Amino acid sequence: MENNITKISWLLLTLLGLIWGSTFMIIELALDGITPFWLAAARISIAAVITNIIWLFSSRQLFLTQSKDWPTLIFSGVFATAAPFIALSWGQQYVTSAFAGISMASVALLILPLSYFFVVSEKITTFTVLGMFFGFFGVVILLGPEVFLTSKETKETYGRLACLFATFCYATSAVLTKRLPAIDPIGLAAVSLTSGAMFVIPSAWLIEGAPPSVSKQTLIYLLILGLFPTAAATFLRIIIIRTAGPVFMTLTNFQVPLWSVFFSIILLNEPFKISMIIALALILTGLAISQMSEIKKVIKVNSL
């Protein structure tokens, strides 16, 4: 399918970045009324129901070829939904939503080395190495020197590591998805969310006990998380990739941390450190350098 980047493509891309960037603020608000594991379980379950209903009415088969790889599909689903959602929900108990959003910018940087080792077609260039260099130091600054110290007074360090673990999960699932045979994108979203729900619900029950009763306000936050950054964003992502291409889709990585910082400061009045600005600048610089050739392709296509 030929890529067709239009003004609508840019509008959808901005909308997707806005939705994903606001996710961390909504999680922060929801955590006031629900435990982290059940937050992740509710978010994934709501989105799974929605995507399965849409897939059911679309009447499409899952695998588009004779080749089927169920283990990779299910494992990728868990790493794309359950594991990162749990890590983010737990981590955001101890870090700001701005920190969580900025950490997501490192997803693309993690994908590069993983793709090199596990996807045959991927190559590492000088730009890739230079970009990873900038990104690595950005992540180190983001973590802060206290991550290397022993402290019994705060769990902030563990919260930071949880957020970065979520980025590793997203990067791993992206690489695993690349290795899957031809598959229907709507079915992929449905199976991914369903497998994530099947993992996170018993985990939440085992670790946090029975589902807690929540207030009306918390329920609204959970519905927003399930509908927009989980279900709706999945379909927006599919539309963008199928019309404008996966390279164009990677530009969301530049938007998400910026939106998360904006919401954190303006709406939540969270504290913000100068080190976070430096880390954000380094990570985005590394991301831009590592994807320089791909970004040039997008700009060239858009100018035609």
- pLDDT, tens digit, for every residue of 126-140? 666 676 677 667 766
Average pLDDT of the residues in 110-124: 60
Which band of pLDDT confidence, cut at 50, 70 and 90, is reported for residue 144?
low
| Percent of the chain residues past pLDDT 90, beyond the cut | 23
The CA distance from 71 to 75, in Å, is 6
For residue 1, the model assigns a pLDDT of 47
**The model's pTM:** 0.76
Q: Are 134 and 282 in contact (CB under 8 A)?
A: yes
Helices (H) and strands (E) in the chain, counts: 15, 0
Task: Look at 59 and 231; give whichever has higher pLDDT.
Answer: 231
According to DSSP, the residues that pair with 63 across neighbouring strands are 183
Please tell me the least confidently modeled range out of 43-47, 129-133, 146-150, 185-189. Answer: 146-150
CA dihedral 251, 179, 117, 238 (to 10 degrees): 10
| Percent of the chain residues past pLDDT 70, beyond the cut | 75
